[in-house]
Structure 1
């Protein structure tokens, strides 16, 4: 008997792509423009971010965090640290708060590994640093056990060497979680793209004065920072992500815990 004809194999799904260079150039015929060639870093960043947005199932959690206690605590610590040449930034506190949050909610300290999830023990936190032609995410290892001043010194060193293109390869790989802060540019809030295989990234906005209802029911003014947690739903479910964000918020609003 003749063998039954089998159905043709389905073609593999292809990622959506936009118009190619020639098509785009034709759109602007007769207009003045400059072509900017992509260096290897920009090509790599573009490829990774496109893959991340197309393949990682993002969801987003948002909170507002009151910073007045942190700002007062930071001013007090910086006065004590003057003689050591260390000046703590708000971002140093954010890094520490996230690192502690990952210890307080350990199931969220995880990455996607294709056919499994890896749960890490230490809190290795990556921090997005803007450099010429792109961005890079150096990692502060064991940020949960580092002091605020140690985090500050490490972050300044990593950021400086990142901008000078002098980071060593092991300094920008690994980590489970990323911090991306655009608050210093006056950005109120934004949604960041997850840096695979990380489970989440925290987008940090600027601290602004806002009216708030205080615990006694009175209306007052507070410095409020908006943050958005982008989460890989394969790694972290909604309730777990909410617990992590609540832990980060609590750490920032009661900053003395970061000295414990």
Structure 2
């Protein structure tokens, strides 16, 4: 019997993807391990391998199709002795059945809360529906629900509460404070470019994910920002000496490699900051896995240097060079960019003096590195010229107290200004 090849989940968080390119065509014979297609996830373009041998009887999803849900049949594989011509007939109802869930969830979403089907048709009849709930104070809602509704332009009078006594709670607003009733508010108002020359650029899965996660982070995570100025002269001198010694091995350390090491060691020194907030629990990590922000075409990805506190700086440099190169061509595996205990974002190469980075949940902090520049600086009670860098830590205040964040920034500053401490 022909086998359905389904859209795979190429990462733990993947719900849908783009079938970027088919590498086979109908009638091709494939064996286990052959690459069938390239699939774009929210972070990378990954290869889809055959797990069995057979003949590609029918391609159900054309290349370039986006928003293909995980589990959707994308092709039919006919085994040895099976008639290829029979496979399409067997497969025909499958994509239709699979396409049906698009409206089905919409019907199913309103179904559990009875109010949705009632209010959808009632919306046009505002005069009949409005007066009963037009008096503001008569709409029972939690303070959080009111704030979120106000921020997103949601009319509380259009919702039915599921809390005690019909009280509207956050869950009634739906995912990301926007369910069926909030969808129009979640989308920005249509932009009319008028006569200005322009082009419309469709968002990639990566850009959609970045937009969603950063919005959630700023809405849900209370950020606290702590900044220190750091004298880089000793670190720059050490880097020059290390690079001279590593030249024969074709290894060149960047300032960023040293920052990764310094942050990792600081996190071990101040374990209160090497944590993740998990609702009613706090996860404390015993090693520092540093997610490093790398700009790639179409967005940003954060490959991870695992156990950075236990690795030599030369090992970190070699690993980061490989990770960054593969990140730019979309060849990272999910395990190489998912996870991490803290993040580092360096915009110094762009001449940015200081910035505040957005935390990457569920991590508890991210360190923003600015450019090193010549500044007046007090050294041994005398005003001198030094290469100074500003570093800003963003901390999840639910998990990390300000004093602990300050201790981490203090430890990071000490390690960078006395870099031999990182090598001990």
User: Is the shorter-chain TM-score for this pair beyond 0.5, marking a shared fold?
Assistant: yes
Misfit runs of 4+, over 4 Å: 15-19
Partner of 1:213: 378
**1:252 to 2:408 alignment:** no
Partner of 1:222: 386
Look up the SS of the partner of 2:369 in the other structure: strand
Q: Deviations over 1:52-103 (max 9, x none)?
A: 1111100100000000000001000100000000000111110000000011
Q: Deviations over 1:11-47 (max 9, x none)?
A: 53526986746x4333x23332211100111111111
- Alignment: residue pair count: 252
Question: Which of residues 190, 197, 203 is equivalent to 1:24?
Answer: 190
Provide the C-alpha distance between the structure 2 equivalents of 1:184 and 1:250, rounded to a whole number of angstroms. Answer: 22
Provide the C-alpha distance between the structure 2 equivalents of 1:18 and 1:159, rounded to a whole number of angstroms. Answer: 37
Question: Which of residues 48, 60, 63 is equivalent to 2:228?
Answer: 63
Unaligned stretches of 5+ residues in structure 1: 1-5
Report the alpha carbon displacement of residue 8 of structure 1 after superposing the two structures with TM.
2.0
Q: Deviations over 1:151-172 (max 9, x none)?
A: 0001111100100100000011
TM-score (norm 1): 0.93
Partner of 1:201: 366
Q: Which has the larger radius of gyration?
A: 2
**1:10 to 2:168 alignment:** yes
**1:238 to 2:396 alignment:** no
Question: Which of residues 197, 203, 212 is equivalent to 1:47?
Answer: 212
Unaligned stretches of 5+ residues in structure 2: 1-163
User: What are the within-5 Å matches in structure 2 for residues 143-158 of structure 1?
Assistant: 143-158=308-323
TM-score (norm 2): 0.58
For CA contacts below 8 A with separation 6 or more, give which structure has more relative contact order: 1
